[in-house]
Amino acid sequence: MQASKRYDAVTFGEIMLRLSPPGTQRFAQSTVFEKQTGGAELNVAMGLAALGLRPAVVSRLPDNEISRYLARQIQAGGVSGECLIYDADPNARLGIYYYESGAAPRKPSVVYDRKNSAVNHISPREIPDELYSQARLFHTCGISLALGGAVRQTAAEMMHRFKQAGALVSFDVNYRANLWGEEEARAAIEDILPLVDILFISEETSRRMFQKQGELKDIMKSYCAQYGVQVVATTQRQVISPQKHHFGSLIYGAQEDVFFTEEPYRDIQVIDRIGSGDAFVAGALFGLLQYGDLQRSVEYGNAMAALKNTVTGDLPCTSLQEVNAVIAAHHGGGVQSEMNR
Amino acid sequence: MQASKRYDAVTFGEIMLRLSPPGTQRFAQSTVFEKQTGGAELNVAMGLAALGLRPAVVSRLPDNEISRYLARQIQAGGVSGECLIYDADPNARLGIYYYESGAAPRKPSVVYDRKNSAVNHISPREIPDELYSQARLFHTCGISLALGGAVRQTAAEMMHRFKQAGALVSFDVNYRANLWGEEEARAAIEDILPLVDILFISEETSRRMFQKQGELKDIMKSYCAQYGVQVVATTQRQVISPQKHHFGSLIYGAQEDVFFTEEPYRDIQVIDRIGSGDAFVAGALFGLLQYGDLQRSVEYGNAMAALKNTVTGDLPCTSLQEVNAVIAAHHGGGVQSEMNR
Amino acid sequence: MQASKRYDAVTFGEIMLRLSPPGTQRFAQSTVFEKQTGGAELNVAMGLAALGLRPAVVSRLPDNEISRYLARQIQAGGVSGECLIYDADPNARLGIYYYESGAAPRKPSVVYDRKNSAVNHISPREIPDELYSQARLFHTCGISLALGGAVRQTAAEMMHRFKQAGALVSFDVNYRANLWGEEEARAAIEDILPLVDILFISEETSRRMFQKQGELKDIMKSYCAQYGVQVVATTQRQVISPQKHHFGSLIYGAQEDVFFTEEPYRDIQVIDRIGSGDAFVAGALFGLLQYGDLQRSVEYGNAMAALKNTVTGDLPCTSLQEVNAVIAAHHGGGVQSEMNR
Amino acid sequence: MQASKRYDAVTFGEIMLRLSPPGTQRFAQSTVFEKQTGGAELNVAMGLAALGLRPAVVSRLPDNEISRYLARQIQAGGVSGECLIYDADPNARLGIYYYESGAAPRKPSVVYDRKNSAVNHISPREIPDELYSQARLFHTCGISLALGGAVRQTAAEMMHRFKQAGALVSFDVNYRANLWGEEEARAAIEDILPLVDILFISEETSRRMFQKQGELKDIMKSYCAQYGVQVVATTQRQVISPQKHHFGSLIYGAQEDVFFTEEPYRDIQVIDRIGSGDAFVAGALFGLLQYGDLQRSVEYGNAMAALKNTVTGDLPCTSLQEVNAVIAAHHGGGVQSEMNR
Amino acid sequence: MQASKRYDAVTFGEIMLRLSPPGTQRFAQSTVFEKQTGGAELNVAMGLAALGLRPAVVSRLPDNEISRYLARQIQAGGVSGECLIYDADPNARLGIYYYESGAAPRKPSVVYDRKNSAVNHISPREIPDELYSQARLFHTCGISLALGGAVRQTAAEMMHRFKQAGALVSFDVNYRANLWGEEEARAAIEDILPLVDILFISEETSRRMFQKQGELKDIMKSYCAQYGVQVVATTQRQVISPQKHHFGSLIYGAQEDVFFTEEPYRDIQVIDRIGSGDAFVAGALFGLLQYGDLQRSVEYGNAMAALKNTVTGDLPCTSLQEVNAVIAAHHGGGVQSEMNR
Amino acid sequence: MQASKRYDAVTFGEIMLRLSPPGTQRFAQSTVFEKQTGGAELNVAMGLAALGLRPAVVSRLPDNEISRYLARQIQAGGVSGECLIYDADPNARLGIYYYESGAAPRKPSVVYDRKNSAVNHISPREIPDELYSQARLFHTCGISLALGGAVRQTAAEMMHRFKQAGALVSFDVNYRANLWGEEEARAAIEDILPLVDILFISEETSRRMFQKQGELKDIMKSYCAQYGVQVVATTQRQVISPQKHHFGSLIYGAQEDVFFTEEPYRDIQVIDRIGSGDAFVAGALFGLLQYGDLQRSVEYGNAMAALKNTVTGDLPCTSLQEVNAVIAAHHGGGVQSEMNR
């Protein structure tokens, strides 16, 4: 019955232009910036599209040629651009972030220039009523709450309206200390947690922001008890160096009262780690939407995150076929070919 | 006596990051942006440095690595970075403009994102008192007035203070319809015209904004009569196509009561026309500062403008030696070599 | 009533990977190829999407990552990828053409490698029946007939079926001497001409292939009399050099019995002339579909062709807003700004 | 006496255009392809030329500018292009393969488009009779047999004719499961094994295709006993990650009845692993042709394979001087400089 | 009888590494240099090879990897690298020249760094005696005389020895004011003119260096009368702008006592003018060597020069097939296609 | 009192143009060279400027546009270009070195072309007398002695004159076996050691050139006893592979009679190791000049060296803020963020 909805998922959040020096170059060295498109909730939508689902992203952009570039990237990846709202004010601006990769002992580095971007002037009234009935799932993240004002208000209203319309509501806490303090964040997140069906939250955030203590598993379960969350997912990234990570995850299903996990991916060759958390969210939601199976959520989530790390840019660049092959190889057994021919 | 001052010229205005698709690519096509540094008053300072003078630029930038890139470009060209003011607020931002070249019948195109940039929070108090006695000439342009608020106030105060301290005051009207209306512009410019020694104004602006009528020469003279301006310069650009321009100019010296001009440069191969007006200003000011000779102002101004058109970016990339050679070849006579070996 | 159809236009034809040395480099010099996407009928669909209509393209591609690149480009430009048919045979291949730009007296040069590509194994049965009722217009061109076999058969059947379903049928003769002889071409085209509502044919082809004589206008009218064509369009390109063309056109409307034309665009700065004829078709069809006005067809057709020449690749890269601005500037009057700010 | 022959070696096989996204980019991301030249038997000839021998390659290419690029690369590396056969048919095509590098857990990936390429229309009659007496050694590999038809027939005939003319015959089994099945392969290879003097075969192929069992050394010896092979070489590659391999080898000389080996190269930094097996063949044949010494075959083979892994493209890019230095460093002893100055 | 010689032509002169900023960038701007290979006499050899002849170049290079790059380029173009002499002295160096393209009114610019390069330490004894009997023609130019010392001595001795051995001797005066004065040049050239069969000299050099007066035709004839030259060729380049030239030539054959010429090529789109004079020499020599026809010398010379101007680098990048097509189009008549498909 | 001097440090030595293939490409492969600026003593000055001090570099360059590029880079990084001496002789040349990175088992490789460069014609008289009183510290290295002749003489005289004028004298032995033999080096260095306050010398050089034996610490102390050196610094680099190094150091202060050290940086991701020793010198001198604290010298030296390894080119590209952050992270404690946001 769900399949009759127009979109498998709608996500909401800011879409930014990312500008990066090529390869290992530094901000102060490079003579060009590579243009990338990013934004936590867009990244999730792009991951779902890569896996074959039909997502749309809601955001607000200035009505200019730079936005057109972003819109082209979004459509190229199979996410519908129909829900993008354009601001014709000549002073409307696009949020930008500058990203430089690292090389040990030098860390990757981000410079933000996202204040006053067009999405901050969004109004819930700009979102057509009929959209709420057209998605199986709605996803947003803590960044949208952190932006405050109209963005926070719109995010909250969309969670309400989608919930009312029978969609699943997914939320990734995604705490960014440069956007807000832990106290403000906790208050704002606690406000919307009762609306959340699927919660993504890191162990560190649970312990620091929500001051949870004890075993990780108990902490994860506590969100279900407290707020009625159905699924809680926590990723486990281990940073060996800017170019080498391990990645695994743990997902709790309240209904089944079961924890799902698998062996982490080890020695991932990290080309660009930005967006790998969002790729995990996409994979996990895919497992749920496509199979209703949280073990598959772990597997698709981990594989998507591992693969995202191996490509440049915030956006995943993969296909269901490739993800399935990576999962199969990860579960291994048998002879492993060195190359796909 | 002037030579004992630390700077031959100080200019004030916004410095922006320019982002351009390479070559003839379009905003929506290119996967990279070329990073350029620009800003009308910076461009003038860079032109003066290329000709061997010692200029400084006053501006205000966020204290981050992207600004550092700009500062490096500024220093590379020989303009002192000592007068740059850095804003440590993490929300401080750099003005950006996106520039795409044209190909007939497609015009070059600019998208601005300069609102709320760090320079808009400048205060005249940030400029050290001793600076005013250390320059032979101060230059700013109408864009600084158009930005309004603190920038306009600072520009006006600097004109006053430099004038008081015995520096020449140079002003380029540089009207930008996308920044302010003609009426507001006229009022603001009329306020500062009594401070101006050297005025750069286009014929079109004279006729439309100042509603001057009659012969161009009479119009130019009228600024001297009305406001006490000493030198009035007007450039004459003829756009054959985005890749081919002619460029000439007319300069009036009130003291001598003489008009100076020369044959325009024809069939300039335009690689990037941005900043060619500012290069003219630099050349004209050089003629005045170095030789006190307005005929040389015409010649250096025209040659600088012609040369700027042949290089990518807002900034001139030349040397006194090259400019002299171009002037000599323009005045021609004798066999012209096809190549400099 | 038409607006209720899902697509404004459906086009059918081969989609190829174009590989070109960058800039002015030669095949034997360059160490990289730029990847472009092309195909006459795809180009038309992309032009329609750029102008804001909702087109789809029917074609057949190998099910591999190289096709995925093409599909991304297609979707990026706003053409639906839903009607693309994928061939899972590991030996299925993509048609390729290599393109090198020219510099007088060296001509641009093309090397084709399109034999046995996946589209040649298409069957009309692969096209869903419901598609025929979902488009206001169907377009294909002589290349699809020239490919022969399954492609010709499919093109012809689609013309029949769309005609039956009430769609307009558009056909561009687009004769390519390297694909077939004039005699074979004439026979095949005469077979389908009775199905054609809108015919694009060059004067040279009319005279050589169809052996028409006399005035161009009489020749154009003759297709309406002979085959019941409603609209006949002929472009007039004048090649001054590989980098400079003039472009104009003449369109005849049988119903009105009127010829439409305008001043040609002169001194177009040609960066890449491939696809400019298809861009004309797109503009002309847009005038018809959007306004039912053949004068607008001339204007949009010419402007689209002129603009296409100024961008790299087969595909137009523009917007309705830009095309309108170019038309306005072409019709001139008033002051012409040198730059869009 | 051998030195009086025109070529030290003649190899035969398909030469392909390889198209790769730059660096770590993916097929679906990159806007350019890097052009490389490849083909197992060409790679061997190029390796021999890099080491100072005089090889030629026999292949068949379309008579167009794309082939001209390949011919330039071949000649640049010192392999004679005199034996290349050009097909003037405008439909003649070049085999292509697309190659994308990997980053763990993502594997490198190949897409082939080699069907119907010009080499498939070769005839043994196109090879001049006098060639057979002009080479000290002939080399081809299992890919040429796998291509079947005219290629297999030509490869077999060349083995016969060169053998008759007194040349050594070298054959690399080089099994590719995407080209043919193991059963067909075994039959075809058994047909030509009696002609083979020097056999390159992997342990895996010996065990799976030839169903050999027991110790590797016994397996290797068995080819000498069964088919009269004089030299059997087996490489041992260990894939730690797409960017890190170990590489060693074992060579058996029937005449001496001795196994030759050395410590494998460890922690090779793999930039492009394609062609490293062929580089091994070149090094092994060089040891034999230049020194008649199979221990040197092991050393040159391993060093060539290790070095090939560190450069982009199928072709080795080295010199005898460099290979000797790498061998010396590998055998170590003494202080190892960090850099060659 | 000539065809039995190993080389159609041997040329002698310095081979240099050319380093150029990409496209229209300036020395002071670009972050990379494009690597090109050049040298007047090498350029001639490369032109002959492009047209299908078998040339070799004699020069002297340091024995290092940078030379290896040049040698690869030389071999890639079909010129034999067998006559290159390598200097193993670690202080041996390669001549370099830096080249920047122009854009009116900015001229192209060259910076030389060729002093003390390896060729300056050449000795005639390094050239094997047997080479002299293996070429149909020997070519060198005034630059080799201008370098003085061992280079001048070697050039002169080679002219003697080749002349003795029955080869034609070709000499291009190619005066470079930055290398020597006109007086020294005239004396040195007069010394070798009695050895010259084919002389390339510009009208300007005839008038200034040799102080010839009167009609160009009479001047050209005078070299035959005075020195026994058989063929005198003079090119006529008209520089409209750095990007647009006309090119024609006049050749006098003493035996026939006839002047040969044709309509010049007009509006050549100059991408890189370096080496176009050498390309003319190659074309003219080809006409003579292949057809013994000076009208063909004019035609091949002009076409080669025109084509060279349209490609980057000193070296021609063309083929006999292309040159024939350009000549046919230049002679025109019939319909001219806009593109080679 | 020292702060009143114009420069914190003056360094003297040759400045070279470095030309490198991009990324992992080889000399013989790449079609471009990346332009870098380098020279041991310049590198030190650039490191000091990056840390916020006011250094100048004394060197001698040809008066051409290629030098202008270097001067721009120098000024961009904040080193004064006022002490650069230009040689107007058209034959004056710039020293060049070509650098290719390695990939195990292939080592990085350097080809020098520095003979007869402009610096070799320097005269101490070209250095203005007043400079000697304007610096707190003078630094040069063994390469300047190795160049011999005028360079060695100038270096020695500058050490004397600066010492006399009360500046600290810093000297890095920096032995290069390709420039001179150990015996000549030892004699020359022993001559100037009595002038040296701060000595940088490797353990290997101490043991081989100075034939020191026993414990490293005793060796280091011996320079103070023998020559009156105040500070001796020795770096400890461990090369795991061309892409992975460890780096630490030991500094002895004679006055305090204390050895300073810290945990080495491990697993540095080496992008370009050139200049990391010079970066260490800069950091160590900074610790001394800014804080008079040799423990800070160790820390700044190690951090600067580690960071230099992570950027392309000889020159450091960092800031005091970044170095402080790297030191803090190295000393660790507390949570380590994975990224700087």
Helix axes F182-192, F149-164, angle to 10 degrees: 20
Share of chain F above pLDDT 90, in %: 94
Instruction: Report CA-CA distances (Å) from B61 to B116, B321, D136, F36.
Output: 11, 33, 71, 28
pLDDT band at B341 (very low <50, low <70, confident <90, very high): confident
Average pLDDT over residues C257-277: 97
pLDDT band at F332 (very low <50, low <70, confident <90, very high): confident
pLDDT of residue C1: 39
The CA distance from B163 to B143, in Å, is 20
Residue pLDDT, tens place only, C316-326: 999 999 999 99
Contact call for B72 and F77, based on CB within 8 A: yes
Hey, which residues does C60 pair with through a beta bridge?
C85
| E339 or F134: which leads in pLDDT | F134
pLDDT value at C338 more than 90: no
pLDDT value at B337 more than 80: no
**Helices (H), ranges, E36-179:** 40-50, 65-76, 142-146, 149-164
Best residue of E97, E113, E179 to probe chain F, by most F CBs closer than 10 Å: E113
Angle at F327 between CA F326 and CA F328, to 5 degrees: 90
Task: Measure CA F287 to chain center.
Answer: 15
pLDDT band at C340 (very low <50, low <70, confident <90, very high): confident
The CA distance from A62 to A42, in Å, is 17
Q: Three-class SS of residue F287? A: helix
Q: In what helix (H) or strand (E) does residue B307 lie, and over which residues does it extend? A: helix B294-309
Sign, CA dihedral D248-D253-D259-D262, equals negative
Strands A96-100 and A109-113, by their bridges, are antiparallel
C22 residue type, one letter: P
pLDDT of residue D1: 39
| Residue C307, number of CB atoms within 10 A of its CB | 25
**CB within 8 A of A328, min separation 6: which ones?**
none
In chain F, positions 137-176, which contact chain B (CB-CB < 8 Å)? none
HSE-CB of B279 using CA atoms within 13 angstroms: 30
**Helices (H), ranges, chain D:** 40-50, 65-76, 142-146, 149-164, 182-192, 203-208, 216-227, 276-286, 294-309, 320-331
Sign, CA dihedral E187-E193-E199-E203, equals positive
- In chain D, residues with a C-beta closer than 8 Å to the C-beta of C31 are 34-35
DSSP structure class, residue F292: -
**CB within 8 A of F178, min separation 6: which ones?**
D341, E90, F112
The CA distance from B265 to E28, in Å, is 24
Task: Measure CA C174 to chain center.
Answer: 9
pLDDT band at B112 (very low <50, low <70, confident <90, very high): very high
pLDDT of residue E12: 98
pLDDT value at F65 more than 80: yes
The CA distance from E91 to A92, in Å, is 61
**Residue ranges in chain A modelled with pLDDT below 50:** 1-2
C310 touches chain B (CB under 8 A): yes
Output the six-digit token pair for E89.
């002295």
Angle at F96 between CA F94 and CA F97, to 5 degrees: 165
pLDDT of residue B336: 64
pLDDT of residue B222: 98
| Residue C191, number of CB atoms within 10 A of its CB | 13
Mean residue pLDDT across chain F: 95
**φ, ψ of residue D274 in degrees (nearest 5):** -60, 135
Task: Measure CA D48 to chain center.
Answer: 10
F34 touches chain E (CB under 8 A): yes
pLDDT of residue E248: 98
Contact call for A75 and C73, based on CB within 8 A: no
pLDDT in tens, chain E (341 residues): 345 899 999 999 999 999 999 999 999 999 999 999 999 999 999 999 999 999 999 999 999 999 999 999 999 999 999 999 999 999 999 999 999 999 999 999 999 999 999 999 999 999 999 999 999 999 999 999 999 999 999 999 999 999 999 999 999 999 999 999 999 999 999 999 999 999 999 999 999 999 999 999 999 999 999 999 999 999 999 999 889 999 999 999 999 999 999 999 999 999 999 999 999 999 999 999 999 999 999 999 999 999 999 999 999 999 999 999 999 999 986 556 778 87
Contact call for A76 and C78, based on CB within 8 A: no
C109 touches chain D (CB under 8 A): yes
**φ, ψ of residue A40 in degrees (nearest 5):** -50, -45
Contact call for C27 and D65, based on CB within 8 A: yes
- In chain D, residues with a C-beta closer than 8 Å to the C-beta of E78 are 75
**φ, ψ of residue E275 in degrees (nearest 5):** 90, 0
Output the six-digit token pair for F92.
């004056």
The CA distance from B242 to E20, in Å, is 26
What ipTM, to 2 d.p.? Answer: 0.93
**CB within 8 A of D181, min separation 6: which ones?**
none
| Residue F217, number of CB atoms within 10 A of its CB | 13
Q: In what helix (H) or strand (E) does residue B11 lie, and over which residues does it extend? A: strand B9-12
Best residue of E37, E69, E75, E311 to probe chain D, by most D CBs closer than 10 Å: E75
Strands B244-253 and B258-261, by their bridges, are antiparallel
Output the six-digit token pair for F272.
């370009």
The CA distance from D165 to D135, in Å, is 9
- In chain F, residues with a C-beta closer than 8 Å to the C-beta of D247 are none
Contact call for A29 and F317, based on CB within 8 A: yes
Output the six-digit token pair for B296.
């040389």
End-to-end, the C-alpha distance of chain C in Å comes to 39
B38 residue type, one letter: G
The CA distance from A71 to the nearest CA of chain C, in Å, is 8
Residue pLDDT, tens place only, D14-51: 999 999 999 999 999 999 999 999 999 999 999 999 99
pLDDT of residue D234: 98
- In chain C, residues with a C-beta closer than 8 Å to the C-beta of D72 are 28
Best residue of F20, F36, F66 to probe chain E, by most E CBs closer than 10 Å: F66
- In chain C, residues with a C-beta closer than 8 Å to the C-beta of E309 are 103
Task: Measure CA E58 to chain center.
Answer: 14
Residue in the structure block whose two tokens are 């461009």: B43
Output the six-digit token pair for D46.
């190029």
Sign, CA dihedral D234-D236-D239-D245, equals negative
The CA distance from A48 to A135, in Å, is 13
- Residue pair E250/E233 in contact (Cβ under 8 Å)? The answer is yes
pLDDT of residue B333: 60
CB pairs under 8 A between A and B: 71
Output the six-digit token pair for A169.
């509501």
pLDDT of residue D338: 78
DSSP structure class, residue D291: I
Contact call for A268 and D105, based on CB within 8 A: yes
Residue in the structure block whose two tokens are 């066999």: B335
- Residue pair C119/C14 in contact (Cβ under 8 Å)? The answer is yes
Average pLDDT over residues C215-227: 98
